[in-house]
Structure 1
Amino acid sequence: MILVTGGAGFIGSNFVLQWCLNSDEPVINLDALTYAGNLENLQSLKDTAQHTFVHGDITDADLLSSLFSKYQPRAVVHFAAESHVDRSIHGPEAFVHTNVNGTFRLLEAARAYWGSLSDAEKAAFRFLHVSTDEVYGTLEPEDPPFTETTPYAPNSPYSASKAASDHLVRAYHHTYGFPTLTTNCSNNYGPYHFPEKLIPLCIHNALAGKPLPIYGDGQQIRDWLFVEDHCSAIRRVLEAGRLGETYNVGGWNEKANLDVVQTLCRILDEEQPRADGHSYSEQVTFVKDRPGHDRRYAIDARKIERELGWKPAETFDTGIRKTVRWYLDHQDWVTNVTTGAYRDWLGKQYGN
C-alpha cells in the first residue's frame, strides 16, 4: 500500500480519487483537516476498504512512527502543506511549522522505517515530495521557463518554506541514500479547489453577484495545469522516476490572471447567464497588489516528457470548461466549504 499525506486537500484528494480509480492498491490517507482539508472530497470512497483515512499531523513523530509500523507502505506521496501565498504573508509561522518541520518529521520517520526493511524492500521503496514552481522565484517576460536546474529564489514565506522542504528532501537522498523523488508543479486548477484561489474564487463570486478581485493590473502570468494531469504525472514519476531527481510538471499554458478571469466570465455567460443579461466581466474589480507578487511563472516540462513519456492531456480551453462545469454541478460542495471563517478571511484579504 501507499501512504499519502494531505490527501483530503485539493490536489491530494484528486490524487487519491484517481489512484483508487486506476489501481486496486490500498491508500492510507493522513490529513490534519485544516481549513483546506475536506473529507467531503472523498465521499465516494467512504464505503471502500481500499481507502483508510487517518486524522493527524505530519509533525507528530509518534503518530508517523506508528503508521509506518502498522501499515508498512511501499511508498510515501507527500502533499501535506500550507499552500496559499496570501495566508503566508499574514501568518508565516504556520507555513514553517507544516512545510519545513512537518517535512523533516516525515522524512525522519520514513527513513527510520526504510532502514528496517530488507534489501529488496529498500530498493522498491519511494518517497515522492510534491512541490511548486514558486521556489524558483519570478521570470521576466523574455526569460525562458523554469527548468529543473533553475537556481532557487523564493520570494514569499510560502515559497521559502517549500524551498526549504525541497532542500531537506534532496539532502536526505544525497546524505543517506534515501530514495526520494521531487516534483515541482505549476498552478493547478480543477475540481475540489478551495475557493480562496483565483479560479474557484471568481466562479463563486460571479455566481453570487460579488466583485471578482484582481490584484494590481492582472498581468501576472502563470502556467496553468489541470489537476488531473498533475496527478497522472505524479503517478508516472512514482512508477518510473530516477531516484534523487526532480521533475517539473507544467501544462504549457501561460496565461495572465486577467485573461483567465475573462475566460471564466465568457464560459459562465454561456453556461449560466446573469439574470439581467449582462456579462459577468462587469464584476471584475482591481484591488491593491499583494506584497512581493511574482510577475511570471513558466514551466519547462520537457524532462518528464523525454524521460517518462508524460505530457498533459488537457489544454487550458478543455480543462477550464471542465472546471467551470464541475463547480456549476457541485454548488452544494461550494456552500459547505464557504464557512464563516472563510468569509472572515476573504474580508481580511480583499476588504468588504
Structure 2
Amino acid sequence: MPPTVLSSPFKFCSNLRRTKHQEHFIWLALYQRFFICTVPRINGSNERILGGEDNLRAEKVSIQAHDGNLLHFDAVIQDVVPSRSSLGTVIACHGAPGSHEDFKYFLPYLKSKAIRFVGINFPGFGYTQPNAKLRYDNRERLEFVQQLVKRLKLYDNLVFVGHSRGSETALKLGALNRDRTVAIVLVNPMTLLTYRALKPLWRIQLFAWLWNLGSVSKFLLRPIIYLSYRYLLHLKVPTSDVAATSLMAMNTVDLQSQIKYISTLNVSTVKVFVAYAGRDPVIEAELSKHFANSFIDVEHLTCKSGLPNEKLTFDQIRKLVEEGKRHIAVYFPEDDHFIQKHRAKLLADTIHILLSDEKKRQERKEVSA
C-alpha cells in the first residue's frame, strides 16, 4: 500500500511558528505530493486492459520461487492469431523497461503474412502484476515463458524475438526449444562484454541493495529512479515501480552465461538473425559485432537509411537464407536502440522469409522421404 498523502500539505506553510517536527512533516508531505503528481500509476487490476483491439488476455501460469514455493500469475499476453492458417509463431520478449508494445510497429506486417504473434509481459513491468518474492533473474524469466509456451501448446515453427534485455531470454529459449524453433531474432541485443548502460556495475548493484532494504528506502528511491529513467537515460517508464523492476532485472544480467547457449545453437539447425545499431546510446556497436561473431560463419550486412537500402538489404538476406546460411547480422549505422520501431517491415519480412524457407525445406523432405 502506498503511504497516505495529506490532502493539503500546504496548510502548514501558513503557520509561522512551526516546530522542528512540523517542518519535517511538511517536507515529507511535499515530497509525497511531488511523487504522486509526477509518477503515473497503473491500476492494480488487469480488468481494464484485457480484450479489445489489442488482443490482450491473461493466462494462468505458475513458476517456482527461490524458496521452493510456487508463484502464481495472471500473465498478460498479446496473442494475435491470423485469420488464415499460421505460417509460424513469433514469441516476443521485451526489454527493461518494456512490454508487448515494444513490438507494435511490426505486428501489422506479421499479421498480414499469416504469422501468429505472442507478446510476453514479464511480471512487474506494468501489465502482469509483480510478486514480492521475485528476484527478476534469468531463471524466473525462462520458466515464465516456458510455462506460457506449454499452456498455449506451441509445438513447432517458433521464432523467438528479443529486444535489448529480452535478447538474453530469447537466445536461451531458442536453444532450450531448438527442436521446435526455426529462428531467433535478436534486436539491439545484450552483448558478451559489459556495455555502456551497465557501466559502472556498482551503481546498479547499490540500487538493488538499497531497494531491498525495505519500504522506507523504496519510498525514498521511487521518484529518483523514475526521473533518472525519464531524463537521464531517456527511456519511457509508466511508473517508478516499473523503473525499479527494470533496474532489478538489469542487476541480474549474466552476459557470459550466453556463451554455452550460443555453443548449443552453433551445432543446431536454428537460424539466428542479429540486428544492431550504430547510434545506440545503450550498447556500443563494436560490442554488438563481437557478439554477432560468436555465431559460427556469421554473414555481416550493412543497411543504411532509406527504403531503397532496406529493399537491397532484404534481397541480400533472402539470398543468404536460400543458400542455407544460418547466421546473419545486419548493422544499421544510423539507427538507435529501437530498431524494431524504425525497421519494422524489414524485420517482419526477414521473419517471414526464415519461416517460409523452413516450410519449403520440410516439404522437400516429405517429398523425398
Shorter-normalised TM range: 0.3 to 0.5
**Larger Rg belongs to:** 2
Q: TM-score, normalised by structure 1?
A: 0.33
